[in-house]
Structure 1
Amino acid sequence: MITARNLKIEHSEKYEHWEWVNDPRETRFTELAELLQVWWFSIKARKNFLELSANTKYGVYLIFRTKQDSEGLDAIQKASVSVGRKGLKKYVCLKPTTAMPPSIGLPIKRSDGWTELELGQFECDNATGDKDAVISIEETKDDNKKTGLIVAGIEIRPI
């Protein structure tokens, strides 16, 4: 798990855009990033292969919640997972409000109350010489205000 604090969240240092919060009910994720207001966003992470099992395929998931009064999260976002020159780009939606084409990745509610959205997959293959997986989700085309996203982190797990 890459916790929210260890992600590169654009404008997370600006109190008018993001707030770092603690949820006393939450024991697994100690510090959460809450989106207060932006017009575009970018969340990025890196995972070093030394922390993973070799010759294993991994799925990458954004772990989040949305507030009841969230706005602008129904736009389509671009997700990518790349290792070296190999990369997978896909389109996803954090909070679909209408029917989406089958090619759009959709979130799944988890039993722990959080929601996960698959951002992509990669293979940890030591033979390639690559050392990091680079992960991102961003929405920079839609100029609508976005609010109410609570990010716990990015989970990387074997598939």
Structure 2
Amino acid sequence: MNTAMLSPKTVYAAYLVVKFADRAYGLDFLPSEISIEVGKSRTQGQVYLSPNEGRKRPLGHAHSPNRVEPLRSRLLQEEGGAICKRKDGWMEIELGSFFIDGNDKEVKISLKEVKGQHLKGGLIVEGIELRPKY
């Protein structure tokens, strides 16, 4: 999407809006990679997708399975949020935030996991929402 569609001089947060099927599997074994690009600036981070609040992490993973863990960078200005349940029944995960400086640029947001060889299923994606953060 082009930043001309957004308000200038505004910090936006990107949220992935999802549901998990009753028999979701393989989504939280490895973290998924998130990235946000605004023009030539790119930020990367990680998120564990987990439909189960108390599910244990594989050995070597000390992070909460419901915690979004973006890496520090210029665009992601603070730690991402946990998976939050919305009033409409969907769940949202804050992927990160970015600043619109008023110049026309393209915004690209992605979530992917390509390093593991585990089967995955049961993730239902409604889309990505962009909302002013402040």
Same-fold call, TM > 0.5?
A: yes
- 23, 48, 51: which is aligned to 2:2? 48
Aligned residues: 110
> Residue deviations 1:82-138, cap 9 Å, x none?
112222211101116325526x50422112210111111111112xx4421110000
- 23, 39, 60: which is aligned to 1:84? 39
Q: Which residue matches 1:93?
A: 48
More strand by share: 1
How well do the aligned residues superpose, as a CA RMSD in angstroms? 1.7
SS at match of 2:8: coil
Q: Which residue matches 2:73?
A: none
- 88, 91, 94: which is aligned to 1:115? 91
1:141 matched to 2:96? no
Q: Is the 8 A contact 2:31 2:48 kept in 1?
A: yes
Q: Which residue matches 2:18?
A: 64
Q: Show structure 2 runs of 5+ residues with no match.
A: 69-81
Distance 1:138 1:118 in 2: 15
Amino acid at match of 2:34: A
Q: Show structure 1 runs of 5+ residues with no match.
A: 1-46
SS at match of 2:4: helix
SS at match of 1:131: coil
Distance 2:26 2:48 in 1: 11
> Residue deviations 1:39-58, cap 9 Å, x none?
xxxxxxxx211211011000
Given the two structures, how large is their TM-score scaled by the length of structure 1?
0.64
SS at match of 2:63: coil
Amino acid at match of 2:42: G
1:152 matched to 2:126? yes
Given the two structures, how large is their TM-score scaled by the length of structure 2?
0.75
After superposing on structure 2, the runs of 4+ consecutive aligned residues of structure 1 that deviate more than 6 Å are none
Identity over aligned residues, as a percent? 38
